[in-house]
Each structure stands twice: as C-alpha cells, then as structure tokens.
Amino acid sequence: MAKEYDNKRKIAHHYYVEKNYTAKQVAEMLDITPKTVGEWVRKYAWKQERQAREISVRSREENRDQVLSDLATDRRRIRELIMEQEASPQPDRELIRELRKQISRIDDAVSKWNKARITAQKDERVPLDIYLQVMDNIFDSLRLFDMELYTRTLDFQEQHIYQISNNK
C-alpha cells in the first residue's frame, strides 16, 4: 500500500509540476483527495518548483521562438493581403502602403527578437565548470544512495562529460 501511495505521489508530482494540472484535477485523475495533493504541494514545495520550471531557460527560449513564429505568421498573412490588393482590378494604394509599413514593423521586431535570442543564448549558457560541479554533486549523492546504481552509471558519466565538454 505504501508503494502504491508513493507511486501516486510521483505521478501527482509529474501532473502538477510538469503538466500544470491543478491540485483538484490531479486528485480526480488519481482518485485521491484534493487535501492529499495539497499537502504534497506544500510539503514538497511543488508550487515553487513549477514556478521555477516556468521561468527556466528552456521556457524562455520556447517563448521567444513562439513570438518569432507568430511574427512570421503575421508577416505572411499581411504579405498575402498585399498580393491580393495588387492583383485586384482597383488596388487600394493607401491600404497597400499601410500593409507594407506593418511588414516593416514586423521585420524590425523580428530583427530585435533575433538579437535578443542570440544575446540570451550567450548569457544563459551554464559555464562548464559549474555544470561539472553540479554533475559531481548529483552523482556523489547517487553514490551515497545506491552504490551499485552509481557504479552502473560510470560509463554514462564519462561519455556525458566528454559530450558536454565538446559542446561548451
């Protein structure tokens, strides 16, 4: 029974923290009380973890990529409107001029977002020495927790360090 309870807690963590379900939704999905989920949220600081994940480097990158994608979609839509106007028997020159101004503003925004993305990629990169220190801390904890599992990860650790060192 305790193992099933622990498994439900792990699944609840996944739904609440990573999938952004509410405590009530998690409780319904796992057939447990909302009070239990609420206790886990408080006891294990799931709310803080969820907030940290929301502002993580990856989410910021995804947000920037989404903005750029939206701008590209807008630009394409406006370009189609211009082409329709130009192909019509009586094109509205004022509308075409205004649409071209919008495209120019979008192009400027895309340029600025791309520059921000490049700058952020440089700023958000974790230095190799810090990365290796964190990795050492994690695997030291794993060694203390389960020596056999730690030993089985030694090849992985070596391969991962090599891979990360060559990418930094």
Distances (CA, A) of 136 to 56, 139, 140, 146, 150: 22, 5, 6, 15, 12
Measured distance CA(12)–CA(4) in Å, rounded: 12
What DSSP designation does 88 have?
A: S
22: left (phi over 0), alpha (psi -120 to 50) or beta: beta
Task: State yes or no: pLDDT of 33 exceeds 80.
Answer: yes
Mean pLDDT of the chain: 92
Place of tokens 């205004």: 98
Tens-digit pLDDT profile for residues 2-28: 788 789 999 999 999 989 999 999 999
Q: What is the average per-residue pLDDT within 126-155?
A: 94
Last residue of a domain, which of 54, 72, 97? Answer: 54
What DSSP designation does 89 have?
A: S
Burial letters for 59-96: b for 16+ Cβ neighbours within 10 Å, e otherwise?
Answer: eeeeebeeeeeebeebbeebeeebeeeeeeeeeeeeeb
Provide the number of structural domains found in the chain. 3
Q: Are residues 75 and 94 in the same domain?
A: yes
Tens-digit pLDDT profile for residues 34-78: 999 999 999 999 999 998 887 777 778 888 899 999 999 999 999
Last residue of a domain, which of 14, 31, 54? Answer: 54
Q: Are residues 118 and 132 in the same domain?
A: no
What integer pLDDT is reported at residue 168 of this predicted model? 56
Q: Are residues 7 and 48 in the same domain?
A: yes
Tell me which residue range forms the domain holding 143.
128-167
Q: Are residues 33 and 68 in the same domain?
A: no
What integer pLDDT is reported at residue 61 of this predicted model? 84
Task: State yes or no: pLDDT of 117 exceeds 90.
Answer: no
Please state the pTM of the whole predicted model: 0.51
Task: State yes or no: pLDDT of 152 exceeds 70.
Answer: yes
Q: Are residues 43 and 86 in the same domain?
A: no
Q: Are residues 105 and 118 in the same domain?
A: yes
What integer pLDDT is reported at residue 36 of this predicted model? 95
